[in-house]
Chains A and B, each alone.
Chain A
Amino acid sequence: MAVTSNNIANAGTPGYSKESVVLSAAAPQSNGTASVGSGVNLIATTRAFNQATSNQLNSSQSSLGQLNGLQGYTSQIDNIVGTTAGGISTALQDFYSAWSAVANTPTSAATRQALIGKAQSVADSFSRISSQLNGLNTDINTRITADVQQINSIGASISKLNQQIVVSTAQAGGSPPNTLLDQRDKLVSDLSSLIGVSTTTDTNGALNVFVGNGQPLVLQGTTTTLTTVGNSFNSAQLEISSSTAAGNVISSYITSGDLGGLLAARTQAIQPVQNQLGQIAIAFSQAVNSQQNAGLDLSGQFGANLFSVGGPTATASSKNTDNTSVAVSIANVGALTANDYVLSYKAGAYSLTRSSDGSTVALSGAGTAASPLTADGLSIVVSATPAAGDQFLIQPTAQAAGSFAAVLTDPSKIAAAGAVQTSAANGNVGNATISSGTVVNAANPNLLNTTSIQFISPTAYSVNGAGSFAYTAGANISLNGWQASISGTPAAGDTFTVKSNAGGTGDNRNALASANQQTQGILANGTISINGAISSLITGIGSEAQQVNTAQAAQSAVNTQAQKNVQSVSGVNLDEEAASLLQWQQSYQAAAQALKIGSSLFQSLLTAVQAA
């Protein structure tokens, strides 16, 4: 009855296993003719416990812990980036609309000022999202530190319990100290929701706990603590290390539990979004700036950059043995990807691997300034031959979104006008006309030179008074970085002029081209528009969050089932206890009755003797 009462009292205690008494009939006593039982002996109090179901629950809890940790971040990203109001989409749409407004009234200071404002808000939304993602990274660091502390303190408690269990098992002559075992199992269960563990039990009852790929956390009565160390490429990014092998990062082996979830959130949820966002920022900024540079502003100068964006970064590993540095630049925006890479130098050769999946990327070039290493749109120059085993982390786009800024503040410096203008002389007799002219290479130093095209006959023309070129109606004439076409029938002596469009402040060709970039393919070798990239980013984030949500829901169900299994073995069912209480009550009553009858028999005997 004491055991049953204890069961009832602990019905709600987490980790408590139902206990039951083991009884056995006492050895019979023989009276010469027959053996008569001599009652009952209490052998032991055992706890209902099944190691297999308990292990199942622990591993299910590790998986659930991982998904819970991950889900916390995927759903935050889902909310931050996913909702269009807080997103870049709206800002970009406004930006392109502002370009259209400038195209409609190129000389209006108001529309130009509005464009500057919209450019600012595009930059703000990029950097806001980026800093929110960075905030998540900081949050992960804090939680990793907290998790590691908790894991270490649980490890210490387990090793203390180990010592107590070994001692009390020896004292009790082998009978198990149920309460201590329950407490220890509860701690292991708590631990497994923080980090995936595997356990072994020694013959003396002590439990050994291992994490990661076999790093010991608890061995008998000693604890090996986990520590956090800065990533070799980025000291601000915390990694997990075991104190047995100081400096040995075991993060990649920790794939389950809350800690596993945090590490996964960093590499699966935050970094890819940060990189993709950066990729979009770089492509967008380059497209806008190069269009700006190809046109003329209100004062007839080439347009200044509208945005500035951080370029690729290369970080040497803290384990590198020399001071070789690596400079990375973007050779081709269209070929740029959202991956991070690790450049390694081994056995006299460079190799480049993608961080996300470890696959090797083909490299060409020698790594010198004259012949840089090139891969995936990047151009890599190494300062000197590195020491063998040196590694460099190359992040082409990770820093871009965070450093994205609108740098143009003077509305008059917006290049709405095309760089060149064309004209036909009023004295022309033929009916030929010249197209308005487009810039094909804004870098040509002679772009703004005045060029006169004079027809020496209806079928041939000279350029600036020299040469004779065959005339084809409608064909493009290219010179000095511009391109224009003459069509119709010219007469000898007809003259056309191509010159700088300085003063053409009402021109909107460059503004139109900028507005039209909205639908142009810019990323992935010119196949994906900026908005397309954002749409796929949104879909990607949504899918990731959805996938984690689904997995989390499924794992919850698995976990519930595992809990049920454990409870079905170890849990306290109050009805059952009530029944066994009744059973004990009845035995007690029966025994009392037996005693009473015995007593009354004895009384009868005494009465008979007295009466006799």
Chain B
Amino acid sequence: MRVTQSLNQAQFLAALTQIESNLSQTQNQISSNLAFTTPSQNPVAAGSVNNYDQALAQSQQYDANANSAQTRLGTEDSALAQVQTELQTLRDLALQANNGSVSSEGHTAIAAQATQIQNSLLSLANTQDGNGEYIFGGFSTTNQPFALTPSGASYAGDQGQRQAQIAAGQTIADGDNGNVVFNQIKTGNGTFSASAAAGNTGTGVLGASAVQNPAAYDGGTYAVNFTAANTYEVRDSANVLVTSGTYISGQSIAFRGVQVTLSGQPATGDSFTVAPSTNQSLFTTVQNLVTALQTGTGTSATQAKLNNSLGNAINNIDQALSQTSNVRATIGARLNTITTQQSVSSSQQIQLKASISSLQSLDYASAITALDLQNTTLSASMQAYTLTQGLTLFKFL
């Protein structure tokens, strides 16, 4: 085959361009640390990297969501911890006031302290997070949820509970609405509550009450009426006699699976009611306590009334404490879930980064070897060209 000088030259130039273009690509790869800079260099990997990039960014976003939820739950938890402290103080005050030796001035002082506590509780219930959102407002986070009223506090929030996306398909509540935390608190012992009729004239004071046999309690409302100072009868809401007996101070009266304890001396016609627990706002409980303390005592009957009110208040404060504990327990569980999820997602992210890196990152050893080889090829072909170009017969003419 005849080879001509012009073709030789053209081919050499083409080859030189090709080598230089490869060299520049390798150089580009090395300086950018990328195995491919355009999708055409590895179409499948380019598509996969796009998917992995998204998964990674999403996982990082979930982390950010989890952090945000963590902060919000942390704020809620510390607010509730303070609520517990305040409630504990309030309970101590109620116990102190329940002691017969406290004077009416003492009661007024305690009432003043209870009012202080009510204000602290109100400000805790109106806690705002770092973004200025009321954390106990449900979905309504821009309006102050609680405001004091003569009978307790009104709630302007709703029953919404916001969720945070902390993983694909996994959401977690980043708060609790104020209605659940402060309003939906059962009265009495959580199942039923016993109360003295307002018109009682004796000194009967309600003590501990409990459900003895849950199966036997039907959730009905019952009245314990004193037909004589030492005789009581229990009637249901339809005024049907359930049981009757002889009253001994300090001994429990049991019927339909429940028992209540009475002490003191009820008068004939006095009545006590056992009714299913209802929801009562914590603020109403505190307000009732303050009102009872401010009413003052004079007679043994009013003292008994105060004692009954204080007993109720203590029961309700206990319920509030347990409700707060329950909410805090769920917060703790959620925080645990977040921590677990964070560690899962961090190992996920390491995995994803490794996958992206294995597809996208340059293998320096092979790239540098390639660069070296291309370099060698370039100089060799240049040398070969000059050598062969020197080979011409005209030199010998």
Is A506 touching B133 in the complex (CB atoms < 8 A)?
Answer: yes
Nearest-neighbor residue (CB-CB) of A491 within chain B = B219
Q: Within A152-210, which residues are at the interface with B (CB < 8 Å)?
A: none
CA of A429 to CA of B38, assembled, Å: 66
Decide if B164 touches A545 in the complex (CB within 8 Å).
no
CB distance from A12 to the nearest CB of B (A): 5
**CB-based nearest B residue for A543:** B43
Residue from the list B4, B39, B42, B141 in contact with A505, Cβ < 8 A: B141
Given A78-B39, A103-B164, A501-B139, CB of A11 within 8 Å of CB of B158: no
Chain B residue nearest in CB terms to A559: B14
Residue in A closest to B280 when the chains form the complex, CB atoms:
A426
A518 B54 Cβ-Cβ under 8 A: yes
The answer to whether A421 has its CB under 8 Å from any CB of chain B is yes
* B window 42-56: CB within 8 A of A: 42-44, 46-51, 53-54
Taking the nearest CB of chain B, how far is it from the CB of A424, in angstroms? 7
- A546 close to B163 (CB less than 8 A): no
Question: Would A97 and B57 be within 8 Å (CB), given that A567-B6, A574-B392, A578-B392 are in contact?
Answer: yes
Is A311's beta carbon under 8 Å from chain B?
no
Residues of A within 8 A of B7 (CB): 563-564, 567, 571
Q: How far is the CA of A512 from the CA of B54 in the complex (A)?
A: 17
A512 to B163, CA, bound (A): 8
Q: Which interface class (under 10, 10 to 19, 20 to 34, 35 or more) fits A?
A: 35 or more
B residues in contact with A519, CB < 8 Å: 58, 168
Once bound together, how far apart are the Cα atoms of A89 and B227, in whole Å?
83
- The binding surface of chain A is classed by DSSP as helix
Query: Contact between A506 and B6 (Cβ–Cβ < 8 Å)?
Result: no
**Once the chains are docked, how many angstroms separate the CA of A93 from the CA of B53?**
9
Q: Is B215 located at the chain interface by the 8 A CB criterion?
A: no
A545 in contact with B38 (CB, 8 Å): yes
Among the stretches A223-231, A394-402, A533-541, the one at the interface with B is A533-541
Residues of chain A in range 115-153 having any CB-CB distance to chain B below 8 Å: none
Chain B's interface size range is 35 or more
Asked if A574 and B163 sit within 8 Å, CB to CB, the answer is no
Q: Mark A522-564, 1 if CB is under 8 A from B, else 0.
A: 0000000001101110111111111001000000100010011
- Contact between B160 and A539, CB atoms less than 8 A apart: no
Give a binary string over B134-149; 1 marks a CB under 8 Å from any A CB, 0 the rest: 1001111111000000
Per-position contact with B for A78-113: 1 when CB-CB < 8 Å, else 0? 110011100001000100110011011111100000
Which A residues lie within 8 Å of B219 (CB)?
A: 429, 491
Asked if B241 lies at the interface with its beta carbon under 8 angstroms from chain A, I say no
- Least distance between A244 CB and chain B CB atoms (Å): 37
Indicate which residue in A545, A564, A573 contacts B5 across the interface (CB closer than 8 Å).
A573
Interface centre among B5, B43, B132 (most CB of A within 10 A): B43
* A107-B141 contact, Cβ under 8 Å, with A426-B179, A535-B51: yes
* Residue A477 at the chain B interface, CB threshold 8 Å: no
- Pair A421/B42 contact, Cβ less than 8 Å: no
Q: Is the CB of A421 within 8 A of B39?
A: no
* B228 at interface by CB-CB < 8 Å: no
Q: Could you tell me the distance between the alpha carbons of A154 and B393 in the complex, rounded to whole angstroms? A: 38
Check B165 against A421 for contact (C-beta < 8 Å): no
Cβ of A503 under 8 Å from chain B: yes
B160–A504 CB distance below 8 A:
yes
A427 to B280, CA, bound (A): 9
Q: Which residues of A contact B164 (CB under 8 A)?
A: 103-104
> A-facing mask of B205-236, CB < 8 A → 1, else 0?
00000000000000100000000000000000
B1-57 with Cβ < 8 A to chain A: 1-7, 10-11, 14, 37-44, 46-51, 53-54, 57
A430: nearest chain-B partner, CB-CB: B219
Does A436 sit within 8 A of B, measured CB to CB? yes
B133 cross-chain contacts in A, Cβ below 8 A: 105, 107, 506
Report A-chain residues with C-beta under 8 Å of the C-beta of B41. 542, 546
CB-based contact B39/A568 at 8 Å: no
Contact B37 A83 (CB under 8 A): yes
Among B61-69, B83-91, B320-328, B333-341, the one that faces the other chain is B61-69
Q: In the docked arrangement, what's the CA distance between A431 and B160, Å? A: 17
User: How many angstroms between the C-alpha atoms of A421 and B138 in the bound complex?
Assistant: 10
State which of A104, A538, A546, A582 has its C-beta within 8 Å of the C-beta of B68: A104
- Which A residue sits closest to B137, measured CB to CB? A506
A542 to B50, CA, bound (A): 13
CB of A509 within 8 Å of the partner chain: yes
**B183 contacts chain A at the CB level, 8 A cutoff:** yes
Contact pattern, A 510-526, Cβ under 8 Å of B = 1, otherwise 0: 00100110110000000
Once the chains bind, are A575 and B393 in contact (CB under 8 Å)?
yes
Minimal beta-carbon separation of B48 from chain A (angstroms): 7
Return chain A residues, CB-CB under 8 Å to B103. none
Instruction: For B40, give its contact among A427, A516, A549 (CB under 8 Å).
Output: A549
Cα of A540 to Cα of B1 in the assembled complex, Å: 43
Whether A579 sits at the interface, judged by CB under 8 Å, is: yes
How many angstroms from the CA of A89 to the CA of B49 in the assembled complex? Answer: 11
Nearest B residue to A48 by beta-carbon distance?
A: B2
A507 within 8 A of B: yes
Interface status of A268 (Cβ within 8 A of chain B): no
Cα A515 to Cα B54 in complex, Å, equals 13
Closest to A94 in B: B57
A579 CA to B396 CA, complexed, in Å? 11
Interface residues of B in 107-156 (CB under 8 A from A): 131-134, 137-143
Residue of A nearest to B15 (CB): A560
Contact between chains at A105 and B159 (CB < 8 Å): no
A322 CB to nearest B CB, Å: 46
Q: If the complex has contacts A421-B158, A582-B397, are A105 and B131 also in contact, measured as CB distance less than 8 A?
A: yes
Q: Is the CB of A82 within 8 A of B38?
A: yes
A75 at the A/B interface (Cβ < 8 Å)? Answer: yes
Known contacts A82-B40, A516-B165, A573-B4; decide if A538 and B179 are in contact (CB<8 Å).
Answer: no
B61 to chain A, nearest CB (A): 5
What are 28 contact pairs spanning A and B, CB under 8 A? A75-B38, A82-B38, A82-B40, A103-B165, A105-B131, A107-B132, A108-B131, A426-B184, A427-B279, A436-B160, A491-B219, A503-B140, A506-B162, A515-B165, A538-B39, A539-B46, A541-B39, A542-B40, A542-B46, A542-B47, A545-B43, A546-B40, A567-B7, A573-B3, A574-B5, A574-B392, A579-B393, A581-B397
Q: Give the interface of B toward A (CB within 8 A).
A: 1-7, 10-11, 14, 37-44, 46-51, 53-54, 57-58, 61, 64-65, 68-69, 131-134, 137-143, 158-165, 168, 171, 179, 183-184, 219, 276, 278-279, 392-394, 397
Name A's B-contacting residues (CB within 8 A). Answer: 11-12, 74-75, 78-79, 82-84, 89, 93, 96-97, 100-101, 103-108, 417, 421-424, 426-429, 436, 491, 501, 503-509, 512, 515-516, 518-519, 531-532, 534-536, 538-546, 549, 556, 560, 563-564, 567-569, 571-576, 578-579, 581-582
- In the complex, besides A543-B40, A564-B3, 16 extra interface pairs with C-beta distance below 8 angstroms are A82-B38, A82-B39, A100-B64, A417-B139, A427-B278, A427-B279, A436-B161, A512-B163, A531-B51, A539-B47, A546-B40, A546-B41, A560-B14, A571-B7, A572-B4, A573-B3
Closest 3 CB pairs between A and B? Answer: A506-B141, A542-B39, A504-B139
